[in-house]
């Protein structure tokens, strides 16, 4: 009998050290590769109602899987307090993720709290959320009224049978499309639609997706199948390079490359030559963009990860619940970012197999957020 391994949340992290002498944040902290801290992605739940084959495969995340107890999760007040320290160091954009973030009860209250924060320049944050769309139709207007600005919706196929097979819970495409339209009507735009492309699974959906969203205000983005975590069975042969995706679309719907919106943007941008909208490709496997990465990630129970492919986090919750001041929290965050030297995707691009055999288990995407 083969032993079944259930991959649990990261229990290896320790509270970070607080520098013995520290100054107030200046709004500009840089890591060892001179990358500033601009984006914070906050996972607010490790639960999801989908079992996507590339993220939470059912054979691992089954009825026996042990999710985090509610007492382990950061409260909304704790999330906001930590977010304030990141903003003091220069964060301008916060994205709420999961799991499926809309499963977190009273999420609208958290959005209200985060929407009240201001950048070091006194501007509102760019406050966004990534969702599978399953609850979006019923929640879109309330999210907008709470202060959410935009949403990104995951949709991996237009063909209903393919989509149901990929989400593995028999959820219909039509319900996600209804959620996208509800979000558009509520003013949560421009909406980005993310499609993870896996060879032999949904690559035949590249052109149907492009055709469907051509001529709409929504931005379709194709994501290379990534080696996040240890449960999705990643193999390089399952990756369709973004250059090939652009070639396939461009053969039918000619496109012109665009400049990035800002330094560190994950997607390379393209526009249809006929004015039919925008497409993005996220190429963290074949065209690593580590050198411009400005993102930090906060897990559901308060562990800071400085890379999507990290093997260990830093326990900020221990500082929060240990009676430390805001000044001490800010100092710890600043020191962690200054020590950051992550460039996993660049190293993997140099040697695709060189990191897979290191024995270090990467944290799961469902735990850290995408």
Q: Please give the annotated binding residues for GTP, written as ranges.
A: 41, 95, 130, 192, 295-297
What is the token pair recorded at 303? 């562990």
- The SS3 of residue 171 is coil
What is the token pair recorded at 35? 């990358």
Torsion of CA 170, 175, 180, 185, to 10 degrees: -160
Q: Which residues are annotated as a binding site for S-adenosyl-L-methionine?
A: 54, 99, 154, 226
Which of 66, 46, 126 is CA-nearest to residue 90?
Answer: 126
What are 150's strand-pairing partners?
A: 128
The distance from CA 1 to its chain's CA centroid, rounded to whole angstroms, is: 36
Residue 208 near residue 173, CB atoms below 8 Å: no
Beta strands in the chain (DSSP E): 39-43, 93-97, 126-131, 150-154, 192-197, 219-224, 255-257, 267-272, 278-282, 295-298, 303-305, 314-315
- The SS3 of residue 340 is coil
3-class secondary structure per residue, 61-121: CCCCCCCCCHHHCCCHHHHHHHHHHHHHCCCCEEEEECCCHHHCCCHHHHHHHHHCCECCC
Q: Which residues are annotated as a binding site?
A: 41, 48, 52, 54-55, 95, 99, 130, 154, 192, 226, 290, 293, 295-297, 307
Distance CA 357, CA 70 (A): 34
Residue 234 near residue 226, CB atoms below 8 Å: yes
Distance CA 164, CA 158 (A): 10
Q: Which residues are annotated as a binding site for [4Fe-4S] cluster?
A: 48, 52, 55, 290, 293, 307
Q: List C-alpha distances in Å: 214 to 50, 249, 253.
A: 27, 11, 9
Instruction: Give the contacts of 144 (CB within 8 A, at least 6 positions apart).
Output: 186, 187, 188
What is the token pair recorded at 308? 């999507």
Residue 25 near residue 335, CB atoms below 8 Å: no
């Amino acid at each position: 009998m083969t032993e079944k391994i259930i991959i649990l949340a990261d229990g290896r992290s320790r509270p970070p050290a607080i520098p013995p002498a520290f100054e107030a944040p200046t709004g500009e902290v840089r890591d060892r590769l001179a990358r500033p801290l601009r984006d914070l992605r906050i996972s607010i739940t490790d639960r999801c109602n989908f079992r996507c084959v590339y993220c939470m495969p059912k054979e691992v995340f089954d009825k026996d899987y042990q999710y985090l107890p509610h007492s382990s999760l950061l409260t909304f007040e704790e999330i906001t307090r930590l977010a304030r320290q990141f903003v003091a160091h220069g964060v301008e954009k916060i994205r709420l993720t999961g799991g499926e973030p809309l499963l977190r009860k009273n999420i609208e209250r958290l959005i209200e709290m985060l929407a009240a924060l201001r950048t070091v320049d006194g501007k509102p944050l760019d406050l966004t959320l990534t969702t599978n769309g399953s609850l979006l139709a019923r929640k879109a207007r309330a999210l907008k009224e709470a202060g959410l600005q935009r949403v990104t919706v995951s949709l991996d196929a237009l063909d209903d049978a393919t989509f149901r097979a990929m989400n593995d819970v028999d959820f219909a495409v039509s319900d996600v499309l209804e959620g996208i339209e509800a979000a558009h009507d509520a003013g949560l735009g421009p909406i980005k639609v993310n499609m993870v492309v896996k060879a032999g699974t949904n690559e035949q959906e590249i052109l149907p997706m492009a055709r469907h969203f051509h001529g709409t205000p929504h931005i379709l983005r194709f994501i290379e199948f990534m080696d996040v975590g240890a449960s999705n069975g990643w193999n390089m042969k399952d990756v369709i390079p973004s250059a090939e995706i652009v070639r396939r679309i461009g053969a039918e719907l000619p496109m012109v490359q665009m400049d990035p919106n800002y330094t560190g943007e994950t997607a390379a941008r393209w526009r249809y030559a006929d004015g039919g909208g925008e497409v993005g490709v996220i190429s963290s496997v074949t065209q690593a963009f580590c050198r411009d990465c400005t993102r930090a990630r906060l897990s559901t129970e308060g562990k800071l990860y400085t890379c999507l492919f990290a093997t260990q986090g830093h326990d900020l919750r221990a500082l929060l619940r240990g009676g430390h001041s805001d000044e001490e929290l800010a100092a710890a965050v600043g020191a962690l970012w200054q020590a950051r030297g992550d460039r996993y995707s660049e190293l993997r691009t140099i040697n695709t197999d060189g990191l897979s055999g290191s024995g270090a288990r990467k944290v799961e995407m469902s735990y850290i957020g995408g």
